[in-house]
Amino acid sequence: MAPAPLSHWTVGCLNRKESALRCSPSSGGGNGGDGDDGGDSGGDGGDSGGDGGRDDGDDGGGGDGGQLFRFARNSEKAMTTLARWRASQAGVSLKDRDRRPYLASDCDNLQEAEKWRRQIIGEISRKVAQIQNAGLGEFKLRDLNDEINKLLREKGHWEDRIKELGGPDYWKTGPKMLDNDGKEVPGNRGYKYFGAAKDLPGVRELFEQEPPPPPRKNRAELMKDIDADYYGCRDEDDGIIVPLEVEAEKAAVRAKVHEWKEKQNKVKTGQMTEEEAQGKEEEPLFPSSSLDEADEDMVEVSRLNPAIDDSEQQCFVAHVPVPSQKEIEEALVQRRKMELIQRYASDALQEEEMEAKNMIGV
């Protein structure tokens, strides 16, 4: 006896069960309970929409369960038992397939290298946004700053790898927005501080620069502020220095007079000669040795120049007596002595000196 043909309702139920088995279990049953209940609800849904489960068994997938199956995502399909089983049979794990290679040189695909670079940029952006919060604490901020610098170095490795694979040169054309957010310490190239990490203790002092030295003034600016006070022309206007100078001058005069009297007493008693009392004579401005050397130089020059020799052969007769060098030196010494006596000795002292000279017979 031949089997009876299946009804349209039975065919719809079988199709819906097969579809539920091919997709995830959560997306095939819906709110219909088991397969039969789902078929009933699918049939009802099919009747309300037109032909329902009789015309298209897949579209009448059982109430809410049909909607879940119709709008299932690829990520949900990838997590089904069948997909995981196929991946295990192929020897490839889903997590390993989405993990970024440790070394950029391990990647030989330009598209994947671009993807990993974009992924690193996203991680840097998230961490830069997190490090702006100063309430995270010092240790968390330092860890975030270290991670950002590590990701920046890794991004540079991937950009080099992209260039090796024939891609664009991001060192020249890529945006520098993330790099510009950080601030490098002078003298420590490569490591940057981001966000609130710039204000951490010990970091703030690194960015503090010494004030620049004041600019040097040129000669015109220095001479602009010079007046009579600079040269001491108005030092006596304050009325302080003049009395001090008078006292110092009187003390110097008294000391010199006392010294002179002691020498005179020693001369009278014979303990000291007049020459010793006068002390060492001041050296002349132009000593005789220098004058002799100058004369020798003039003789040498005149010997080399015949015109000078001819002029020197003419003899001149002096109508006034010319003093010798010794007489000039004695006159200068005597003049200097008289100036000192007039400056430091009083009139009475000078009269006593004259009387002493007359008694001695000088």
C-alpha–C-alpha distance, residues 267 and 276, integer Å:
9
Residues 84 and 172 in one domain: no
Residue 115 placed within a domain: yes
Is residue 81 located within the same domain as residue 176? no
Nearest alpha-carbon partner for 123 in 151, 97, 101: 151
What's the whole-number mean pLDDT along residues 270-283?
A: 67
Instruction: State whether 85 and 111 are in the same domain.
Output: no
**What is the pLDDT at residue 358?**
83
C-alpha span between 50 and 53 (Å, rounded): 9
Domain assignment present for residue 20? The answer is yes
> Are 78 and 108 in a shared domain?
no
**Left (φ > 0), alpha (ψ -120 to 50) or beta: where does 40 sit?**
alpha
Decide if 272 is inside a domain: no
| 137-141, 265-269, 290-294, 327-331, range with the lowest pLDDT | 290-294
Residue at 214 is within a domain: no
C-alpha to C-alpha distance for 288 and 296, rounded to whole angstroms:
12
235, pLDDT greater than 70: yes
Residue numbers of the domain that contains 129? 104-207
pLDDT at 250: 92
**Residue range 187-207, pLDDT digits in tens:** 667 788 888 888 888 887 777
* Cα–Cα dist 236/251, whole Å: 20
Q: Which residue has the tokens 């006068």?
A: 278
Instruction: Name which residue leads in pLDDT, 59 or 119.
Output: 119
Is 117 part of a structural domain of the chain?
yes
279-307 pLDDT, tens per residue? Answer: 655 555 555 555 555 556 565 555 555 55
Distances, alpha carbon 287 to alpha carbons 300, 301, 339, in Å: 20, 21, 22
Kindly state whether residues 34 and 115 are assigned to the same domain.
no
| Final residue before a domain boundary, out of 207, 228, 247 | 207
Instruction: Please write the tens of the pLDDT for every residue from 217-232.
Output: 888 888 888 888 888 7
Determine the Cα–Cα distance for residues 68 and 81; give it in Å rounded to an integer: 17
Instruction: Check residue 202 and give its pLDDT.
Output: 82
**Residue at 118 is within a domain:** yes
Q: How many domains does the chain have?
A: 3
164 located within any domain: yes
pLDDT in tens, 306-320: 554 554 455 555 556
Q: Are residues 124 and 201 in the same domain?
A: yes
Same domain? 130 vs 74: no
Q: Does residue 86 fall inside a structural domain?
A: yes
